Amino acid sequence: MSTRRKQNLSVDRALLGFLFLAAVLTIGPFLWIALASFKTQIALLMGTVKFTPVSMNYDEVLFGNTSTFARNFLNSVLVASASTMAAMTIGFLAGYSLLRLRWPAWVVNLFLLWAVVFNLVPPVTLAGAWYELFRGIGLSNDTVALILAHTTLHLPMALWLLSSFLREIPRELEEAAFIDGASFVKTLWRVVIPIMMPGLVSTGILVFIFSWNEFPVALALTNNTSATVPVGIAKFAQENEIKYTQMAAASVLSAIPALLALLFGQRYIVKGLTAGAVK
């Protein structure tokens, strides 16, 4: 038995080593870009290992006259918040309705099919269709257009996730509330929503992050004033002389929502990502 235990210990040690290596490879690029964002362009180009950190890249990206990053950041906050709120509200109501309010099977299947098909279609193909639509109704390059597009893009995911969380709630609670005379809205607000708070948080975090990260549709539907963060970052790469260190600083700033979500909500993220895929 003791040789077996020793064997097990050395196997564990090897596995921990493997995991450590994978973690280094995962985190390394982020650390490298964070270091690069505090270098001067010359220090980066020379490949200096020891350098004095400077904050000029962040100053330039956030407050520089030619930089649009601060504006992009505000646009992203607006688009991601508004489309998350919309997708959550609409998805929650529809999910509840489909699960609990006795719709015929074909209606439920229609929405289910929509959610599945929507996940198969590359967003670029929709970007073209939306571009034509919004140009037709005079909303081209408008933030409202992007909010509507992002809501549509993430509504199937919200509907799918929220339905899977709703299914875990026992029906009897709602029926009891109804018997006690609670209205439809009151039942949702006082009974259903408090119980499924963790599921709502999971869905909300994921939808926000997905909207924050979304690139092709934002690229197609925005101009200089309405551009979001990913569109702004992409512009760095298209200039004749790429300002590498500023691109690094902008990248670090754009990762803020992801880092916050990871610090405070990783439990919810795991729940959301696995619920979406497994069920």
Subset of residues 56 to 85 that bind other proteins, contact rule: CB under 8 A: none
Angle at 23 (CA atoms; ends 19, 29), nearest 5 degrees: 155
Query: Should residue 99 be labelled a site residue for other proteins when binding is judged by CB under 8 A?
Result: no
Residues in contact with other proteins, shown as a per-residue x/- string from 21 to 40 under the rule CB under 8 A: -xx-xxx-xx-xx--x----
Question: What is the number of residues in the chain?
Answer: 279
User: Three-state DSSP class for 272?
Assistant: helix
Cβ proximity to other proteins, 52 vs 185, nearer residue: 185
Question: Count of residues binding other proteins (CB under 8 A)?
Answer: 96
Residue 81 exposed, middle or buried by CB count within 10 Å (0-12, 13-18, 19+): middle
DSSP sequence for 204-257: HHHHHHHHHH--HHHHHH--TTT--HHHHHHHHTTSSS--HHHHHHHHHHHTHH
CB 55 to other proteins: min, Å: 19
DSSP for residue 190: I
Which residue in the set 10, 104, 105, 120 belongs to the binding site for other proteins (CB under 8 A)?
120
Listed residue (225, 237, 90) closest to 154, CA to CA: 90
What residues between 235 and 274 interact with other proteins by CB under 8 A? 236-237, 244, 247-248, 250-251, 254-255, 257-258, 261-262, 266, 269-270, 273-274
Least gap, CB of 197 to other proteins (angstroms):
20
Scan residues 151-190 and list those touching other proteins (CB under 8 A): 151-152, 155, 159, 175, 178-179, 184-185
Return the residue of 119, 223, 224, 225 that touches other proteins, per CB under 8 A.
Answer: 119
